[in-house]
Structures are given as C-alpha cells and as structure tokens.
Structure 1
Amino acid sequence: MVTIYDIAEATGYSAPTVSKALNGLGSLSEETRQRIINKAKELGYEPNISARTLTTKKSYLIGVVYDDTGMNKGFSHPLFSPVLNRFREKIEAAGYDIIFLSRHFNMTYFSHANFRCIDGVIIINPATNNASDFDDFIRTNLPRVSTNTIFKDICTVITANEQGGYAAAEYFINHGHKKIAYISAPVDGISAAPTERYEGFKSALKTYNLYDEELYELSATWDKESAYEAFGRLIKRRKDITAVFVTNDQLAFGVCDYAKDHNIKIPEDISVIGFDDDFAAEYAGLTTFRQSANEIAEISAQMMLDQIDGKTVPPIIRCRPELIERNSVKTIRGFRLF
C-alpha cells in the first residue's frame, strides 16, 4: 500500500507537506499541491479514511435526514429529490461525502449522527411530526441546515411560501375570480408550507376584500386520494366557488380526479393552481408554482460549509417560487385582464 512517505520520497517534499496537499490544507502553492496530487495518482495512492479522521478530527461526512412517511413520493419528490442531488454535488466538490441518517434500531436522528461522527447535518424531510426530535441538534454546535422545516437556531433555506400563496390568489383575482378556495395539506408542525402558503393566499384575498373563511378545507394526508375527498366536501358545501388553490400538485391532482368523476370541467367550471411543478403537472396542463430546487440546494451547501469553517450564517433564507402558467385557470367572461 502506497503511503504519504512513499509520495514524499518520490517528490522530494516532506511528509507533512504531502499530507497538507492531499487534504487540501495549508498555504501551499497550487503548483506544489498539483505536483504532489499527480504523483499520488501515478503511484496509485488511496487515502486511509480512518487515519485521516484521526489526524484532522473530521469524518468528512455530512448526514442527511430524508424520510417520507406521508407524501408517498420517496426519491421522486419534485423538490426534495433535486435538492438532494444538487446538495450532494456541491458537498462532494468540497471534499465531503453524504450519509443518510435514519431512526431505525431504536436510534434517534441525533444518536445516529453521533454514531457516524458526522461533520454536519441537512434536514430535508424527516419521518416524524414531532419537532422536539431535533432539540439535540438545536443545542449542539454541529453545523446544520434545514430545507423544509423551520427550527429555532437552525439555518433554514426554504421557499418564500407566503409570497407564492399571495401570487396564487392575485393570479385568480386578475382572471376575474371572486369565490376562491384553498385546500390545505396537513398542518403537522414539521412542514411550514401549508400554513405559510395559506397565510399569503389569505392576505391577498383580504387586500381585495374577497376573503371567506368558509372556503378553507383541510386534506387528511398529502396524497391525491385525501384531496379527492376534501374537494368533495368543499364543493358540496360551497357550489359557488370558481377557483381553488391547493398546497401542492399531488393534492391538485386529487381535485382534478374528483372533477373528472363528477363531470366538472377544468378550467371551464373550476380553475385550479397547484404548487411544486410535479413531473405530471405539465401533462395535466396544471398551472402551478415551481420551487427553486437548485438555488435552495446550493445555498444550503454553502451555509453548511460556512458553518464548518466557523462562519456565522443567517437563521433563514427564502427563495422565490416561479409561477408556471398552463391551462387550468379560466378568465371569467366579461372580465378584462390587464
């Protein structure tokens, strides 16, 4: 097995200099660093991770909390999957690997993190609706970032949900709608999206004196079957609605399924706006909001690396969603769109 001493002998540099070059440390010139790295490759050097960890007191592992017990999308989620992919690319480019943290074998996320000696953790989507499960992460100095849940003292990079909700309501209003409903995903204390999007939506309706609290309906879960039932309750209670904004696209698809089964035409009878720009949204012709997955991931990675370097990071960063216009919203006849 090739060691740093073999590389030192072959290059003429000291072993500590070789170590610095291979670990990206020290103030070596780029020419020196590259010469050592090239010789290491030529000799077939493979780094000893255990020795590296002992030397640097770092594991070069970033823990990932990514579970899915309620959305039934797994790694195909339209936001979380691309966030994970881009985050991994940025973190690996900085010399780190990722490892998934689970709550199996009677371990908490935090105990699993300690067991793996990780250098930081990103909370993308947890398999719990109990925010206290992350209290230990909040109390520790471990670098941490969240991309879905807002925790006190954990840097969060998240979509500007209220802005999206406001824009959805205003879009309907600008197309002549006045009876505008909202179907919410479960408000579980973990995902901020359902509440924040509704708050923005409600704010816009109040601005235009159109808010009606009876036009709110709660879906039991995040899947389209529950949204199917929720929209059924809503439309039976208030047959005068002409538009509905839905927390995410999966719930919007449930609305579309109910409409199809009950001869309600979209957008002629009911207009629909979703959120996420799910893979099927384009084929369904659904007007929706696309979250900036790459921006969220890149900022999250930078916030992680900044914390590892001892820098202070902001408590929350919001990324603006983009409205994707398709054909699920009708302009009310006689209304002039400006």
Structure 2
Amino acid sequence: MATIRDLARQCGVSVATISRVFNNPEVVNAETRDNVLRVAARIGYQPNESARTLATKKSYMVGLIWDTDHRRPGWRHPFFQEIIIGLKTALSERGYHLLMLATSDDEGSHLRAAKRHNLDGVVFIDNGTQDPALTQLAESDVPCVSLDRPITGPRTTYVISDNAGGARIAVNHLYEQGRRSIATIAGPGRTRPGIERLDGYRDALAALGLPERSHHVVEGDFYLAGGHAAMRRLLELDERPDAVFAAGDEMAIGAIRAITEAGLKVPEDIAVVGFDDIELAALVQPGLTTVAQDKGGFGTAAATALIAMIDTPATGSPPPSVLPTSLVIRGTTSTLPRTSP
C-alpha cells in the first residue's frame, strides 16, 4: 500500500503539503490539490482517517436527509438524483463523505442521528412538509444547508434557484413566439419551487398585459402522470390554451403525451416549455424547450457553504445562494412567426 511519503515523492511536494491536502484542503492551491488527489487515486494512497479525525476533531462525515417514501416518490425524480451526485462530488473533492440518514416521525430523530454519528453537518432536501424534526435540527448547533427550501437557525443557510425569474423567462419566450393564451401546470403549492414558479408565471402575464385566466392554472405534482392529467384538464376547456408552461420537465413530458393523444401537434397547436433541463428533455421528440437549473451548482454551493460553517463556526451563517436559470430552446416551441394579436 502506498504511503504518504510515496505520494509526496510522486507529486514533488512535501509530506506536510500532502497532509494539508487531506486535512485542510482549503489552504492548498487548487492545482496542487487536484494533482495530489489525482496521483493518490492512481497509486492507491488512502489517508489515515482515524488519525485525521483525531487531529482535526472532525468526522469528515456529512448527513443527507430527504424524507421521502412510497407516498412521496422523490427518489426517482431525475433532477434530485443529479443534485445528489453533484453534492457527493463536491464533498468528496474536499475530503468529506456523504451519509444517508433514515427518517422517522419522531420529532428529535434527525438531531439525535447527527449527534450519534458525530456528523460535521447536514444537508436536507425539501419534501414539501413542515417537519418538526427538521426545525429542531435547524435550531441546533449543527451546521445545516437546505436545498430548494429556505430555513432559519443559528448555523443554517440554503441553496435555491431563481424560480420566479426562470418562470418569467419561459412565459416571455412563449410570448415572443406569438403565443397569447398561455396556461401553466404548476408545481405543488406546498413547495417553495411550486409557489415561486407560479408567482413568476403570474408576474410575466401581468408585465406582458395578458389576462390571467384561473382555469388556465392547474396544479401538478412534478411527475409524468401529474403533468399528463393536468394537460388533459386543460384540453377539455372551451378556451384551450395555445401554450403551456409546466413547472417541471416530467410534467411537461406528460403534457406532451396528452397533447399527442388528443390528435394535436407540439408545437404547431400547443407549445410547451418545462423547467429543470433533466437529461430526458433532450431525448424526447420533439426536444423539450426548458428552463435549465444549475444542478452541479447546487452541489458545489451547498458543499462550500456547509464546509465554511464547519471550519469557521464563529462567523455564523453564510448568505443564501440563489442560482441563476437559463432558457434552453428545443423543438417544443415554434420559431415560426404567428399572426395572433
């Protein structure tokens, strides 16, 4: 097995530098750190985790809480899968491990788990519920970062996308394509993204001088079946929309299926814009125009904020990170001029 001296010799740096890479990576310049980690992987060097933990008084373990089950099938949603991969990658690059925590209905379960496993910090993903266990954890001295959900506490922050801005981008794009009867399949009203994307949709309609029709707002669930069912309701209207902004890509893809089942064409009859830019968005036919979120940025921002709180507990909480969104234009929105007034 390769030793720390073997690694130092291969990298052309001192043993002290190698130690800093694994114990205090933030003090080593990125080029040196990346080279050490790359060579370590190639020669099979493994740092002494026990010694590192004793020296730094850290476990180098971060917990992940996502309270989802068969009633809330969040685990299979591709957007969150990509976020977790980004989070794990960002933490691994800084020498941390990610531990999935089981959840229960016990109010103190999350805090007890964090203490029992000696976790340096916790990341949790919004499940759309007001969980007393998460509130108790956020109010403790454990550093916490929330994804897609604002939280408050002595050592907390959160990472969220510019949901309202992304929705405005989507509606403005549809307007630019000549669409004037724009409906939305909204996200669940109990979730922050669902609320903010609906607000952005409404703001855009008002700014463009378009009327908001209550029957053109149908709530979905961020999944394929929910989008399909919501679109069928919109198709039954006497005043059928000529465009739909779906607050999630899976709902948009479900909507496309409902449109084609009704004998209509996308985008000729109804244009569709989604939100997320999941991998499937580029694979469906026609390709889905969507508002892209910075999925890798979620992981990087969460890891950076959490480690900042772990390393400098006296500085309090870093400010929230609001990540920008961008429009990815594909085939579900027409670029042909339209004559609608």
Question: Fold-level match, TM-score > 0.5?
Answer: yes
Residue 195 (structure 1) shift: 1.0
Aligned partner of 2:23: which letter?
Answer: G
Instruction: Indicate the SS of the match to 1:274.
Output: strand
After TM superposition, the structure 1 = structure 2 runs for residues 252-331 of structure 1, keeping only pairs within 5 Å, are 252-284=252-284, 285-310=287-312, 311-330=315-334, 331=336
Distance 2:164 2:86 in 1: 25
**Contact 2:177/2:338 (8 A) holds in 1:** no
Distance 2:307 2:327 in 1: 31
Distance 1:151 1:268 in 2: 43
Aligned partner of 1:118: which letter?
Answer: L
Aligned to 2:114: 113
Cα pair distance change 1:93/1:22, threshold 3 Å: closer
Aligned to 2:61: 61
Q: What do residues 276-295 of structure 1 show as CA deviations (whole Å, max 9, x unaligned)?
A: 11222112211011111122
Cα pair distance change 1:29/1:231, threshold 3 Å: closer
**Contact 1:147/1:296 (8 A) holds in 2:** yes
Cα pair distance change 1:108/1:178, threshold 3 Å: same
Instruction: Report how many aligned residue pairs link the two structures.
Output: 309
Identity of aligned residues (%): 25
Residue 318 (structure 1) shift: 0.8
Aligned to 2:34: none
Distance 1:91 1:45 in 2: 17
Aligned to 1:234: 234
Instruction: Indicate the SS of the match to 1:79.
Output: helix
Residue 67 (structure 1) shift: 4.9
Aligned to 1:249: 249
**Contact 2:188/2:195 (8 A) holds in 1:** no
Instruction: Indicate the SS of the match to 2:124.
Output: strand
Aligned partner of 2:309: which letter?
Answer: Q
Aligned partner of 1:184: which letter?
Answer: A
Q: TM-score, normalised by structure 2?
A: 0.79
Aligned-pair Cα RMSD in Å: 3.5
Q: TM-score, normalised by structure 1?
A: 0.79
**Contact 1:78/1:276 (8 A) holds in 2:** no
Distance 2:295 2:197 in 1: 17
Q: 2:177 aligns with which of 168, 175, 178?
A: 175
Unaligned runs of 5+ in 2: 5-15, 30-38
Q: Radius of gyration: which is bigger?
A: 1
Residue 54 (structure 1) shift: 5.2
Q: 1:333 aligns with which of 323, 331, 338?
A: 338
Unaligned runs of 5+ in 1: 5-16, 31-37
Aligned partner of 2:218: which letter?
Answer: E
Distance 1:318 1:66 in 2: 21
